[in-house]
Amino acid sequence: MLIVPEALIAGLVTPADAFAAVEAAFAAMARGDAHNFPVVREALGEGRQYGFKSGIDRAGGVLGVKAGGYFPGNMARGMINHQSSVFLFDPETGAPVAMVGGNLLTALRTAAASAISIDRLARRDVRVLGMVGAGHQAAFQLRAAARVRDFDRVVAWNLHPDMLPGLGRVAEELGLAFEAVSLENLGAQADVIVTITSSPAASLLDRHVRPGTHLACMGTDTKGKQEVEPALLARAAVFTDEVAQSMTIGEAQHAVALGLLAESAITPIGQVLTGAHPGRISADQITLFDGTGVGLQDLAVAARAVDLAVARGLATTVEV
Ligand code: NAD
C-alpha cells in the first residue's frame, strides 16, 4: 500500500492536473462508467461534522472513499478546520492501494469543478469575474477561474469585509484589478460569478444578476446552506455535478422544495463534456452550475496524486 501524505500534495498536483482529473470523472459519470455511493454525514457535537464520500469509476479503475470533516476547534490548535484523507482500493479485489492526504486536494478538486463549468458554460467574451466569498476556498476558486478565461477585473463581496484584502492579493498576483463592491454592483458588472460561502441564507438575489451571466455556486454542500435566491435557479439553465446531490444538499435544494425547479431541468455537467447536451445555447442565457462536491472528484485527484508520487519516487510503500 502506498502513502502520499498531505505535505507532498502541493508539490505534486497542479490546478491543471486537478482540472483534467475532475473532467474525466464527470464525463465517466455521464457515460454511466462511474457512480457515487450515498454520502454519510454525521454531527459529532460541538459543531464538529464527520462524513464519507465514496464511489467507483470503472473506466478510471478507481474505487475509494474520502473520510473527512469539519472541526471548528482546530484553528486554536494551529490546524485547519477541514480535515480529510482519501483511501483508494483495487476495484477488482478490494485490496487497499493508497492513503492520500485530502485537504489541499479538496480545494483543488472544488476549484477544478467550478473552472470546468466556466470553461464549458460561460460566454467566450467574459471580462469581469465576481467573487461572493473570501474564505479559504475563494483563493483557489479565483486562481482556477483565471486559468480558463481571460478576465481583466475581479469585483468581490463578502459578509466579513476584513477578509477581502486577502483575496485582493491573489487577484494582484494574477495581474487582475480588484474592487470590493456591493452585491448590486457585483451583479451589474460581473460576467461570471463564483459563490463560495458557508451562508445559511441567500445573499445574491435574482434581481442582482444580468442576462448572459454564468454562475458557479460552490458553497452549498449541505442541507440548510444557501447562497442565491431560488428564483435565480428558476430563471437559469441549471447544471450540476450530480443531480441527486444537487436536489438534496446543493444550491438547488431550495428551488426544488419550493416547486420552482424540476429534477428534469437539472443537467449533469458530464453531459456537456461528452457532447450529449449543448450547454449554453444563447449569449443572454443565464447558466448556473450547482457544485455540490462528489466523492468521484476526490478519488480522481487522489489517484492522480498517487501516479505523480510514484513517477517521482515520492510515495512511501508499507506492507499490508
Ligand atoms: P471559510 O470558513 O474559510 O469561509 C467561509 C466564507 O463564508 C467566508 O467568505 C465568510 O465570510 C462567508 N460567510 C460565513 N457566514 C456567512 C453568512 N452568514 N452569509 C454570507 N457569507 C458568510 O470556508 P471555505 O473553506 O472557504 O468554504 C466555503 C464553503 O464552501 C463552505 O460552505 C464549505 O462547506 C463549502 N465547500 C464546498 C465544496 C464543494 O465541493 N461544493 C468543497 C469545499 C468546501
Q: What is the 3-state secondary structure (H, E, C) of 128-141?
A: EEEEECCCHHHHHH
Mean pLDDT, range 18-31, rounded to an integer: 98
DSSP three-state, residue 16: helix
Give the residue numbers spanning the domain of 245. 122-293
Q: What is the pLDDT of residue 83?
A: 95
Single-letter amino acid, residue 224: G
Q: 99 CA distance to ligand 1 centroid (A)?
A: 26
The whole-chain average pLDDT of the chain stands at 97
Judge whether residue 238 has pLDDT over 90. yes
The answer as to whether 112 is a domain residue is: no
Same domain, 311 and 262: no
Nearest CA to ligand 1 atom 12: 197
Q: What is the pLDDT of residue 134?
A: 98
Q: 139 CA distance to ligand 1 centroid (A)?
A: 12
Nearest CA to ligand 1 atom 42: 110
The answer as to whether 165 is a domain residue is: yes
Judge whether residue 241 has pLDDT over 90. yes
Nearest CA to ligand 1 atom 22: 199
Percent of the chain whose predicted confidence (pLDDT) is above 70: 100
Show the cell assigned to 16. 491543471
Q: What is the pLDDT of residue 193?
A: 99
The answer as to whether 39 is a domain residue is: yes
Given 53, 66, 223, 225, the catalytic residue: 66
Same domain, 252 and 301: no
Judge whether residue 75 has pLDDT over 90. no
Q: 221 CA distance to ligand 1 centroid (A)?
A: 10
The answer as to whether 116 is a domain residue is: no
State the total domains in the chain. 2
Known catalytic residue: 225?
A: no
Q: What is the pLDDT of residue 48?
A: 94
Mean pLDDT, range 264-292, rounded to an integer: 98
Tell me if 220 sits within 8 A of 226, measured CB to CB: yes
- The pLDDT confidence band at residue 298, using thresholds 50, 70 and 90, is very high
Q: Relative to the CA of 250, which ligand 1 atom is closest?
A: 41
Same domain, 135 and 198: yes
Mutate to test the pocket of ligand 1, among 197, 229, 242, 290 (most ligand atoms within 8 A of CB): 197
Judge whether residue 320 has pLDDT over 90. no
Same domain, 284 and 184: yes
Same domain, 27 and 88: yes
Report the pocket of ligand 1 as residue ranges, CB < 6 Å.
106, 110, 133-138, 158-160, 163, 196-200, 203, 218-219, 221, 225, 291-293
Same domain, 275 and 189: yes
Q: 220 CA distance to ligand 1 centroid (A)?
A: 8
- pLDDT tens, 35-64? 999 999 999 999 999 999 999 999 889 999
Same domain, 289 and 300: no
CATH code, domain carrying 76 = 3.30.1780.10
Mean pLDDT, range 91-111, rounded to an integer: 97
The answer as to whether 90 is a domain residue is: yes
Judge whether residue 159 has pLDDT over 90. yes
Q: Relative to the CA of 291, which ligand 1 atom is closest?
A: 41
Residues near 10 by beta carbon (within 8 Å), at least 6 away in sequence: 104
Same domain, 88 and 127: no
Same domain, 248 and 131: yes
Same domain, 86 and 164: no
Of 87, 84, 91, nearest to 320 by C-alpha is 87
Q: What is the pLDDT of residue 60?
A: 87
DSSP three-state, residue 203: coil
Element (H, E) at 35: strand 34-36
CATH code, domain carrying 156 = 3.40.50.720
Same domain, 8 and 142: no
- pLDDT tens, 160-194? 999 999 999 999 999 999 999 999 999 999 999 99
Same domain, 308 and 184: no
The answer as to whether 36 is a domain residue is: yes
Nearest CA to ligand 1 atom 1: 135
Single-letter amino acid, residue 2: L
Q: What is the pLDDT of residue 204?
A: 98
Nearest CA to ligand 1 atom 2: 135
Q: 307 CA distance to ligand 1 centroid (A)?
A: 30
The answer as to whether 77 is a domain residue is: yes
Q: Relative to the CA of 132, which ligand 1 atom is closest?
A: 9
The answer as to whether 306 is a domain residue is: yes
d(CA 247, CA 245): 5
Q: 197 CA distance to ligand 1 centroid (A)?
A: 3
Q: Relative to the CA of 222, which ligand 1 atom is closest?
A: 34
